[in-house]
Structure 1
Amino acid sequence: MHTTVGLIGAGGIANAHLPAWLDLGHDVVVHSIADDAEALTRRHGGGRTVPSLDALFEAADVVDICTPTHTHYELALAALGHGLPTICEKPLTRTLPEAEDLVARFADARVPLFPAHVVRYFAEYAELHRAVTRGDIGSVAVQRHTRQGRSPAGGWFLDEALSGGVLLDLMIHDIDMARWIGGEVERVFARTHAVGGSQSTQAFLTHANGSISVLTATWTTAPIEFRTLFEVAGSHGLLHADSDERRPYRYQGDAVPAPDILPDFSPLTSPYRAEIEDFVRSVATGVPPRVTALDGLAAMRIADAVARSAAEGRPVDLKPLEAA
């Protein structure tokens, strides 16, 4: 399936999406309200810029939203107004009511909506899911997921009203993973702590099957490198992965490297390419992708419960998510 993609936004994550679209052989038109679209297309040797959203929607067969979190809802609604299948960077929206409304509208219109929860496409996490599904470790009892990185240097990321903070930037990935591995979540208890530009949230999830997930997400101003870790324990074994254990180069010291919001990945096995390929295949065939709109909504429901629990200092119960 050859498509023309309307890529909205030319910031950090667009530098992962644009080369993936180009590598898969699609035409790409780019629009950004910032003066960075031309630089993006030059950097990656492909794509062309258009001066407005209307021009982008007119040219596009599908839409890819790579803009700040608080803009996702309105842009996705605009794409839906043109009947365009849409892939939207995580989180699906800034707030839970927006996510609920967006998923319902796309479902009613029978237009595909794909939340870009890319961690499901990283090799170690995909293999974790396969191993659990095969029964390699028996019944899952406890999961531990950790994700940490340097605090954003500035801009909309540091405005929690716009970004959702470390919860919607980092923890949302592991919320999705914990649910993918352990099933639906019934109860959440969380704590968050912020000092200056550093922020850390820890959440305890109780799944419907009785298993427990412990999630920790941290932004820190300390000069650390991006790191992810998981341990999943079952009745017959343990699965473990730590990005530090396979890192070929480490630095510890006072120098702060240039900011980069993307974790390391191989261009040969890019998870961003894999998720986009899955989205395109789903649009062409009607076969559900690895991540559905309901998965994106479920992650937002759990994240909303985490935020409420941390703010109120009490556990929060979740009702079952009804299928659309």
Structure 2
Amino acid sequence: MHGTVGLIGAGGIANAHLPAWLDLGYDVVVFSVADDAEQLIARHGGGRPVAGLEALFGAADVVDICTPTHTHRELALAALEHGLPTVCEKPLTRTLGEAEDLVARFAAAGVPLFPAHVVRYFAEYEELWRAVARGDVGRVGVQRHTRQGRSPQSGWYLDEHRSGGVLLDLMIHDIDVARWIGGDVERVFARTNVVGGSQSTQAFLTHAGGAISVLTATWTTAPIEFRTQFEVAGSDGVLHGDSAERRAFRYQGHAEPGADLLPDFSPLTSPYRAELADFVHSIATGAAPRVTALDGLEAMRIADAVARSAATGLPVDLQPAKEEVSAA
């Protein structure tokens, strides 16, 4: 399948999506209310700007939403009105209620909706899933996932009502991975600690199969580098991953980090390319993608439980969505 992608938004994550679409052979039209589409296009050597959403929808075969979290639902519904398969950056929406409504509407219309939970396409997490599926560690008992980075310095991320804070920025990645590895979640207990511009959430997930996942996500004003870690322990062994172990050179100090917050990937090894290729393969063949609309909804359901538990100090029991809600 080849055609035209309508890319909405030209900020941070669009710098990973645009080069991936171009490498896959797609034409790309870009619209951004921030008037920075031409800068994005110049930076990556491809694509063309359009003046508004109607022009974008008229040109597109697929829509890719790379905008702030609180805008996702409205833009996805606009794409749905045009019957266009839609890729939406994680999280699907700002709230669980919005996610339930969005997924149900796409399912009712029979239009594919793809939540962009890209961590499932990172090589180390792919191998983690394969190793567990092969039975390398036996029956999974405990998972630990950690994700940390510098606190946002400005912009919409700082407004938790719009962004969802560290929970929907960082932890939702590991919520999705923990469920991918350990299955559906029945109970959540969480705590959040905020000190100045730093914010950390820790969540304990009890899976239906009996496994426990411990997730920690941190934004900090301390001079640290972005880092992810996982450990999955089972009856026959332990699997371990640490993004810091892949780097031969590291800096920690007070110098300001560079403007580019995305990892440096070649087009052939980019997990963003793999993710988008999987989505378009699904559109072309009808095969289920690695991440479905139901997966995106379940990540939001668990994140909502994390937020409620952290607010009340009490555990939250939850039930997964019914299979028929899935729209991809």
TM-score by structure 1 length?
0.99
Encode CA deviations 1:287-313: one digit per residue, 9 max, x unaligned: 010000000000000000000000000
Where does 1:52-201 land on structure 2 (aligned, <5 Å)? Answer: 52-201=52-201
Tell me, yes or no, if the aligned pair for 1:153 and 1:259 is still in contact at 8 Å: no
Residue 223 of structure 1 is matched in structure 2 by: 223
1:264 Cα offset (Å): 4.4
Encode CA deviations 1:179-229: one digit per residue, 9 max, x unaligned: 000000000000001112110000000000111000000001111110000
Tell me, yes or no, if the aligned pair for 1:226 and 1:263 is still in contact at 8 Å: no
Residue 7 of structure 1 is matched in structure 2 by: 7
Encode CA deviations 1:74-121: one digit per residue, 9 max, x unaligned: 000000000000000000000000000000000000000000000000
Q: Deviating runs (4+, > 4 A) in structure 1?
A: none
Residue 246 of structure 1 is matched in structure 2 by: 246
In structure 1, the gaps of 5 or more residues are none
| Cα distance in structure 2, aligned partners of 1:6 and 1:100 | 24
| Cα distance in structure 2, aligned partners of 1:106 and 1:16 | 25
Paired residue type of 2:214:
V
| Cα distance in structure 1, aligned partners of 2:181 and 2:264 | 23
Paired residue type of 1:148:
Q
| Cα distance in structure 2, aligned partners of 1:266 and 1:239 | 26
| Cα distance in structure 1, aligned partners of 2:264 and 2:309 | 32
Paired residue type of 1:136:
D
Residue 274 of structure 1 is matched in structure 2 by: 274
1:151 Cα offset (Å): 0.7
Residue 321 of structure 2 is matched in structure 1 by: 321
1:265 Cα offset (Å): 3.7
| Cα distance in structure 2, aligned partners of 1:266 and 1:27 | 20
| Cα distance in structure 1, aligned partners of 2:247 and 2:117 | 23
Query: What secondary structure sits across from 1:269 in the alignment?
Result: coil
| Cα distance in structure 1, aligned partners of 2:261 and 2:110 | 33
| Cα distance in structure 1, aligned partners of 2:169 and 2:263 | 13
Query: What secondary structure sits across from 1:230 in the alignment?
Result: strand
Residue 237 of structure 1 is matched in structure 2 by: 237
Paired residue type of 1:321:
A
| Cα distance in structure 1, aligned partners of 2:166 and 2:60 | 33
| Cα distance in structure 1, aligned partners of 2:259 and 2:306 | 28
1:14 Cα offset (Å): 0.2
Query: Using a 3 Å threshold, how does the CA distance of structure 1 residues 197 and 259 change in structure 2: closer, same or farther?
Result: farther
C-alpha root-mean-square deviation of aligned residues, in Å? 0.8
Tell me, yes or no, if the aligned pair for 1:70 and 1:162 is still in contact at 8 Å: yes
Residue 24 of structure 2 is matched in structure 1 by: 24
In structure 2, the gaps of 5 or more residues are none
Paired residue type of 1:95:
T
Query: What secondary structure sits across from 2:124 in the alignment?
Result: helix
| Cα distance in structure 1, aligned partners of 2:311 and 2:265 | 35
Paired residue type of 1:72:
H
Residue 39 of structure 2 is matched in structure 1 by: 39
Query: What secondary structure sits across from 1:201 in the alignment?
Result: strand
Encode CA deviations 1:51-73: one digit per residue, 9 max, x unaligned: 00000000000100000000000
The number of residues matched between the two structures is: 324
1:266 Cα offset (Å): 4.2
Tell me, yes or no, if the aligned pair for 1:115 and 1:296 is still in contact at 8 Å: yes
| Cα distance in structure 2, aligned partners of 1:265 and 1:193 | 33
| Cα distance in structure 2, aligned partners of 1:21 and 1:31 | 15
| Cα distance in structure 2, aligned partners of 1:320 and 1:200 | 26
| Cα distance in structure 2, aligned partners of 1:275 and 1:313 | 36
Percent identical among aligned pairs is: 81
Paired residue type of 1:227:
R
| Cα distance in structure 2, aligned partners of 1:158 and 1:264 | 25
| Cα distance in structure 2, aligned partners of 1:264 and 1:242 | 17
Q: Which moved more, 1:129-138 or 1:248-257?
A: 248-257
Query: What secondary structure sits across from 2:179 in the alignment?
Result: helix
